[in-house]
């Protein structure tokens, strides 16, 4: 196995050079998406996919980002009282995030998530987005995002968000 250090990790846009077939994170839906649909979603601009590459090119994880809207009434009042009353609030959807089973528990999830959040913050300076949103697939995913201070939407407990304001404070 390749020795893992920050110097041989990199995150890059999904391309033809990446071996998607060999990837397995243990969650069938996330593996199936990565192997079968991620590349076509990129081509159709439905989602941008970024992969965590290790050493000479092994894919150790991935995440996807897309534009989305959060219905105004789904947000907690503590947030909406500072916002204009538009029907939808612009946001960035972190649709999927997964780490290869082989590399679990080695901070790769953290590396991917921080990269996704920083990228989202940069994007929000060019095209407005007031939060990053995730849909946790199960309780483990939910607890992972809660660990990073994502806030559940009151009406939709599997959907969590992190205000861009919080990211601005954390990363600048
Ligand atoms: C969730 C997942 C991405 C975590 O990746 P990982 O590389 O094993 O996690 P890391 O080693 O980077 O952990 C980073 C931090 O998150 C914590 N963490 C990891 N998984 C967690 C979970 N399920 N619940 C709570 N905290 C979790 C770790 O303890 C660590 O905390 P620390 O920095 O305070 O020590 C990975 O388990 C995975 O791919 N799961 C299957 C797919 C999935 O559920 N994706 C998320 C929803 S789409």
Residue spans of the domains in the chain: they are 6-171
Question: Which DSSP symbol is given to 76?
Answer: -
Q: Please tell me the distance from the alpha carbon of residue 48 to that of residue 153, in angstroms, as a whole number.
A: 24
> 2 exposed, middle or buried (CB, 10 Å; 0-12, 13-18, 19+)?
exposed
Provide the CB-side half-sphere exposure for 170 (13 A, CA). Answer: 13
Query: For atom 19 of ligand 1, which residue has the closest CA?
Result: 144
Give buried/exposed letters for 17-31 (b at 16+ CB in 10 A, else e): ebebeebebebeebb
Closest CA to 60 of 34, 98, 96: 98
Ligand 1 centre distance from Cα of residue 165 (Å)? 23
Residue 72's pLDDT is what?
96
Atom of ligand 1 nearest to the CA of 148: 16
Atom of ligand 1 nearest to the CA of 26: 41
Residue 1's pLDDT is what?
42
CATH architecture of 6-171: 3-Layer(aba) Sandwich (3.40)
Residue 3's pLDDT is what?
59
CB 29 near ligand 1, within 6 Å: no
Atom of ligand 1 nearest to the CA of 30: 42
Whether 68 contacts 133, CB under 8 Å: yes
Query: For atom 41 of ligand 1, which residue has the closest CA?
Result: 98
Atom of ligand 1 nearest to the CA of 94: 48
Residue 4's pLDDT is what?
66
Ligand 1 centre distance from Cα of residue 92 (Å)? 20
Query: For atom 34 of ligand 1, which residue has the closest CA?
Result: 147
Residue 45's pLDDT is what?
98
Per-position pLDDT tens, the chain of length 172 = 455 677 789 999 999 999 999 999 999 999 999 999 999 999 999 999 999 999 989 999 999 999 999 999 999 999 999 999 999 999 999 999 999 999 999 999 999 999 999 999 999 999 999 999 999 999 999 999 999 999 999 889 899 999 999 999 999 8
CB 94 near ligand 1, within 6 Å: no
């Amino acid at each position: 196995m390749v020795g893992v250090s920050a110097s041989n990790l990199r995150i890059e846009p999904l391309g033809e050079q990446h071996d998607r077939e060999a990837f397995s994170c243990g969650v069938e839906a996330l593996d199936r998406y990565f192997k079968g649909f991620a590349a076509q979603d990129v081509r159709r601009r439905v989602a941008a996919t970024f992969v965590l590459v290790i050493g000479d090119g092994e894919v150790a994880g991935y995440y996807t980002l897309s534009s989305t809207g959060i219905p105004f009434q789904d947000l907690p009042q503590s947030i909406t009282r500072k916002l204009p009353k538009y029907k939808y609030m612009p946001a960035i959807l972190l649709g999927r995030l997964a780490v290869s089973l082989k590399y679990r528990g080695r901070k790769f999830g953290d590396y991917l998530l921080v990269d996704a959040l920083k990228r989202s913050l940069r994007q929000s300076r060019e095209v407005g987005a007031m939060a990053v949103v995730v849909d946790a697939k199960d309780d483990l995913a939910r607890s992972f995002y809660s660990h990073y201070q994502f806030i559940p939407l009151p009406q939709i407990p599997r959907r969590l968000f992190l205000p861009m304001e919080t990211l601005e404070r954390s990363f600048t």
